[in-house]
């Protein structure tokens, strides 16, 4: 499960290395990528959790490992607490029971004032790389971001595919409503949990990571040095190695 403004294709650099041993399913949340728009227009956290319940039921999954990044990981916490017999293990990729700290990350705030269009892919990349999430993304990771988020119009200009709707939610809904803290769920999670933190992350601060680990019954905290919020795009080999060591 991807994060706030990602898609299922954000796992493209990790999934192939795991596919020989595991059956993998990547889900795109409502309002992102090729999923339909949110019919409520509210972007409610609990609606996403309900969507996950419906997807797993439709696919007939009775027991599985839940791997979630950012918002996807936060959704995994109440889902695992609610359905303990389904989730065998839980992975939180650069997220804990709370997003960031008391203030939003520089990127979260910066996205509210993002340009509506760009003249070229190079201009898009220059704009993205001013934020810590993207500054060190390798070519393959940046290619995924550009492909998933932008489209070229007939006039030659590039526009966002779906981020405009997400920005509107950020403007009209509080951060606590879109990303409600999940401290209350930790004591109800019984399965092993792996927390992977990027050493440069603004979205999982060290104190939040440690507090999340301490609040869980069986949790391991691993840090990838010099990595931002997107280990699956920035350091996919290291993340894959860590996952292989944790998955059953």
Cβ atoms of 43 and 169 closer than 8 Å: yes
Any idea what the Cα angle at residue 221 is, between residues 16 and 189, rounded to 5°? 90
* Distance (Å, whole) CA 194 – CA 190: 12
Reported as a single tens digit per residue, the pLDDT across 61-85 is: 999 999 999 999 999 999 999 999 9
Nearest partner of 81 among 199, 213, 191, 236, judged by Cα: 191
Reported as a single tens digit per residue, the pLDDT across 159-211 is: 999 999 999 999 999 889 999 999 999 999 999 999 999 999 999 999 999 99
What mean pLDDT do residues 104-114 have? 79
* Distance (Å, whole) CA 229 – CA 69: 9
For the four alpha carbons of 177, 179, 183 and 184, in that order, the dihedral sign comes to positive
Which residue would you say has higher pLDDT here, 117 or 113?
117
pTM over 0.85? The answer is yes
Domains along the chain?
Answer: 8-246 (3.40.50.1820)
């Amino acid at each position: 499960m991807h994060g706030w403004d990602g898609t299922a294709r954000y796992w493209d650099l990790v999934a192939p290395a795991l596919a020989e041993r595991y059956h993998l399913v990547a889900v795109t949340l409502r309002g992102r990528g090729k999923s339909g728009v949110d019919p409520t227009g509210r972007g409610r956290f609990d609606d996403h959790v309900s969507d996950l319940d419906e997807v797993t039921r439709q696919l007939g999954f009775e027991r599985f490992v839940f791997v979630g990044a950012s918002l996807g990981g936060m959704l995994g916490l109440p889902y695992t607490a609610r359905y303990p017999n389904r989730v065998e293990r839980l992975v939180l990729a650069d997220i804990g029971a709370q997003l960031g700290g008391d203030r939003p990350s520089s990127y979260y705030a910066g996205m509210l004032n993002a340009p509506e269009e760009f003249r070229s892919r190079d201009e898009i990349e220059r704009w993205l790389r001013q934020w810590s999430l993207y500054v060190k993304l390798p070519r393959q990771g940046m290619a995924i971001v550009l492909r998933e988020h932008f489209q070229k119009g007939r006039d030659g200009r590039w526009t966002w595919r779906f981020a405009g709707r997400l920005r509107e939610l950020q403007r009209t809904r509080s951060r606590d409503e879109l990303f409600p803290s999940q401290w209350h769920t930790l004591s109800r999670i019984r399965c092993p949990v792996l927390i992977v933190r990027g050493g440069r992350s603004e979205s999982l601060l060290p104190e939040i990571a440690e507090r999340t680990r301490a609040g869980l019954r069986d949790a391991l905290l691993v840090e990838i040095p010099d990595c931002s919020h997107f280990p699956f795009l920035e350091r996919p080999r290291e993340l894959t190695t860590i996952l292989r060591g944790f998955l059953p």
